[in-house]
Chains A and B, each alone.
Chain A
């Protein structure tokens, strides 16, 4: 169970980070006139990008929900939750939720084209916001600001939090494996 939770959060994160990296590359290094940029911005690539975005977001959300259940509802015996674990979890849940809400608002404000359905989560959620045009526009700005603020805070909080394991654990695993290899006692 705990490995499934970790895998959902891990791959959800990796997926979203990779997609963000693609978006940054399209903004900065890939020329707009190139074949790749056209495919990604206006062609089928755009739809796949949206689909993948929602898929990874959903994986992350599911993982976080399961983590929440394990910690606070089922209280798995080996877990010991402190304030830092709770902060980290709430941070991530808020980040993903605001991400989805923002997407839904954006969809509800754009012209209804069939391609929007590729954002399968955002598209379904957008129904909530259809009626109230102006209100949604204002709320979208607030949500965007909140989402951006959370992202920036997360980056600032990162080195002081258990997020550091994202960097230190793999480094530890690699260093340890090389030390064990040097000593000749590498185990499985």
Chain B
């Protein structure tokens, strides 16, 4: 990282975001709700402090007094960096801010400017971005390894049948697996369950297999400008498939494809998160949950699905459609759901903090007395799984696809 006096290029900040800086009334409501602040009581991470520090830096670099004294106190810059990157971009602050500041848009815009200037992100995140661009996935695996989960699943019987490649069957529905469900061995059963569900429902779909690329959402989250050109390539490739529907079982990929790609280019297909797609299939009678899964379950709203994309009801409908299953809500749900800490690059910036956030969410879940904790996102699932382990919790963390598969009688 460069020194504290490198410039944040103000021309890379949109006027819309610069305007927000003066909309902050310093009321501190965000501090009451920020999941990271609640763990550390470190004021730097609160939007109020971030905005104040950013204003101070921009004024010193661009304001009238900056002509005479443009040095920024080193504390201000380092506090700002900590606050900016030890933030899970969960969007909770936006929902409680009386001025309705679009905080995460602001953080991401500033992160992009910081990336260009070399002031950010923190070294671990920069290396992560470089590896992501180099390997095309965050797991530093070869592209050919994208089919490994299929072979494993067929071998151990967790995959009912080999999913067809969309480039061969020319189906109109693409199941976009995503890197986490592809490469993370603790998580790749989600890919298998999803394929099993769609196969059993008789959906004509295909996957990209070794042709699938990362959605590159993490680059956007951390401000790497390479995102735009890689997203553009992905859009062209996906458009060329001639599909009309894309289904993603990951809240992160969904957010990137659904909310970030439209700023880059036009996509000629509809994008659904798996929970929406399942909800639709259930209503159309194409999916029938016949096997009871008895017990109480509580649901964790992934930030990127809920607060970022307003999808709260579809996953709850899916759970409620499972016979025997009773949904019990945690105290903080929907717009106020407590973040599990995995998003926004926090896991890379400060792993302990991310784990503490997941542990905290596990405690929320335990308070409901439910036997299961479910979520429809592989990344939240992995984070919560780690949190449950750390907290030595008895609660069973289960991805929504696994619940659905069980109730369809296709789970081993």
Contact = CB atoms under 8 A, between A and B. Distances in A.
Nearest to A175: B16
A169 B26 contact: no
A177 B100 contact: yes
B29 A78 contact: yes
Contacts of A153: none
A18 interface: no
A165 B31 CA distance: 18
A155 B387 CA distance: 53
B67 interface: no
Nearest to B259: A183
B394 interface: no
Interface string A152-188: 0000000000101101110111011101000011010
Contacts of B335: 187
Contacts of B28: 78-80
Given A80-B43, A162-B25, A172 B99 contact: yes
B102 A179 contact: yes
Contacts of A187: 95, 310, 335
B79 to A, nearest CB: 13
Contact of A172 (B23, B26, B43, B309): B23
B22 A168 contact: yes
Contacts of A168: 19-20, 22-23, 99
A187 B309 CA distance: 11
B309 A185 contact: yes
A2 interface: yes
A168 B98 CA distance: 12
Interface string A77-106: 011101001000000000000000000000
A contacts with B: majority SS: helix
Interface residues of B, number: 26
A169 B24 CA distance: 7
B23 A171 contact: yes
A135 B100 CA distance: 52
Interface string A47-88: 000000000000000000000000000000011101001000
B52 A165 contact: no
B95 A169 contact: no
Nearest to B18: A168
Given A78-B31, A187-B95, A187-B310, A165 B25 contact: yes
Interface in B1-40: 16, 19-20, 22-29, 31-32
A2 B32 CA distance: 14
Given A80-B26, A85-B26, A173 B309 contact: no
Nearest to B335: A187
A185 B32 contact: no
B48 interface: yes
Interface in B187-228: none
B101 interface: yes
25 contacts: A2-B27, A78-B28, A78-B32, A80-B26, A80-B28, A80-B48, A80-B49, A82-B52, A85-B26, A162-B25, A162-B26, A164-B23, A165-B23, A165-B24, A165-B25, A165-B99, A168-B19, A168-B22, A169-B99, A172-B20, A172-B99, A176-B102, A179-B102, A185-B310, A187-B310
Given A80-B43, A173-B99, A173-B100, 4 more contacts: A2-B27, A168-B19, A176-B102, A187-B335
A-B pairs, top 5 by smallest CB distance, nearest first, are A185-B310, A78-B28, A164-B22, A168-B23, A172-B23
